[in-house]
Amino acid sequence: MSQKIQVVLEEESLRDGLLAESRLLGLTEKLHIVRLLKDAGVKRLQLGSFGHPRSVPQMANTDVLVSLARKEFPDLLSTALVPNEKGLERAVHCGLGLASMSVSASDSYSLRTVGRPAAEALELTVALIGASVKAGTMSRAGVQCAFGCVFEGVVPEETVLAFVDQLVAAGATEINLADTAGMANPLQVERLVAKVRAAYPEVELSLHLYDTRGLGLVNMYAGCVAGVRLFSVAAGGLGASPLFTGASGNVASEDAVNLFHGMGLETGIDLVGLCRVVDYYETLLARKLPGRMNRVLHSQPEALAKLGF
C-alpha cells in the first residue's frame, strides 16, 4: 500500500481567530469548540494566548482551557501564544504542549503592535525562547510580516533569514513564517521556503498564511509543493489583524482540507466535522464566515457525498 503524504493543520481559530472579536467566548463555549475540533480529527490546536488579560480579554481563560483540554484529550498537542516571561510562567504552570513566540520582521509593524523596533523585540524573543527551552517546553518561533508589510512594502528576504538564524540559535525547534498582511505571492513563498529549508533542514518549517488578497490557498499550495507539511489555519477563515482593515482573515481550515484532500494528501481531518465547528462559530458570532466549503456543504451536500466527503 502506498503511503499518502501527511499534512498537519494547526487550528488557530480559538486564538488568532478570536483576537479581534468583541463577543468574548466563555469557557464552556470554547471547550465545546475543542470537542468539535477533536471529533473532526484535529490533532494540534492553538488554544489561546498568555498575554495580559487587559490587553487580550478574549484570551483571559486560556490557562483553564489548556488545563481542561489536556485532561480530556491527553493526545492533543496544545499550543498557545507566549508574549513574555510572565506568560511563559503561566504556560508552564498549566502544562502547555508547545509555546509559540513571535516577532515582526517589519519595524513599523513591530512598533505598532508591541511598541518596540523589530531588533529590540527580537532580542526579547530570543531570551524568551531560551527561557522556554530551559523550562523544557517545546518552542516555536514565528516571524510576522515575513512576506511584506503594508506599512513598509517589501520586507527583504535577508532580514527574514537573519531573524530565522537568531531564532534557531536560541533553540526554537520550529520556525513559523507568517504572511501577516496577506501580501505573499507563490513564487516568493517557494523561494523563501527553499532558503530556510536549505539552511535548517532539521528545523520544522510551518507557514501561517492570510487570505487578505485572495492568495492564502495559492501560497499554501506553493508552500506544500516546496515541502512544507505544517500550516496554521482557522475554521471558517476567522480572524484578521485588527491593524489591517480590509483583511479577510486566516485561510479557512475547511478550504485547506478540501485543497489537500483534492490533491490526494492526508490531513486526518473530516471536512463535515470541521464544518460543524464553522456552524457553531457562525451561531456564536451571529454572522457568516468567509470560508467556502461550509457554504458548499450546505448548498451541495449530494455533490460532496459523491466525491467521498
- Tell me which stretch binds its own copies (CB under 8 A): 7-15, 114-122, 262-270, 276-284: 262-270
If you search the block for the grid coordinates 451541495, which residue do you land on? 300
Q: Is 309 in the site for its own copies (CB under 8 A)?
A: no
Q: Is the dihedral of CA 298, 234, 110, 213 positive or negative?
A: negative
From residue 81, how far is each of 24, 91, 108, 257, 293 by CA, in Å? 18, 9, 21, 24, 28
CB 56 within 8 A of CB 90: no
Between 93 and 298, whose beta carbon lies closer to its own copies?
Answer: 298
Taking every pair of C-alpha atoms in the chain, what is the biggest distance, in angstroms? 55
Between 173 and 185, whose beta carbon lies closer to its own copies?
Answer: 185
Identify the bridge partners of residue 46 per DSSP, sorted by sequence position.
79
Q: Is 293 in the site for its own copies (CB under 8 A)?
A: yes
Q: Is 255 in the site for its own copies (CB under 8 A)?
A: yes
CB 180 within 8 A of CB 160: no
Whats the size of the chain, residue-wise? 309
Q: Is 194 in the site for its own copies (CB under 8 A)?
A: no
Identify the residue among 103, 164, 172, 181 touching its own copies (CB under 8 A).
181
Burial track 58-92 (b if 16+ CB lie within 10 A, e otherwise): bbbbbbebbbbbbeebeebbbbbbbbbeebbebbb
Between 125 and 248, whose beta carbon lies closer to its own copies?
Answer: 248
Identify the residue among 56, 101, 145, 252 touching its own copies (CB under 8 A).
252
Q: Is 298 in the site for its own copies (CB under 8 A)?
A: yes
Q: Is 188 in the site for its own copies (CB under 8 A)?
A: yes
The footprint of its own copies (CB under 8 A) covers 148, 150-154, 181, 183, 185-188, 211-215, 217-218, 221-222, 244-246, 248, 252, 255, 258-259, 262-264, 291-293, 295-296, 298-300, 302-303, 306-307
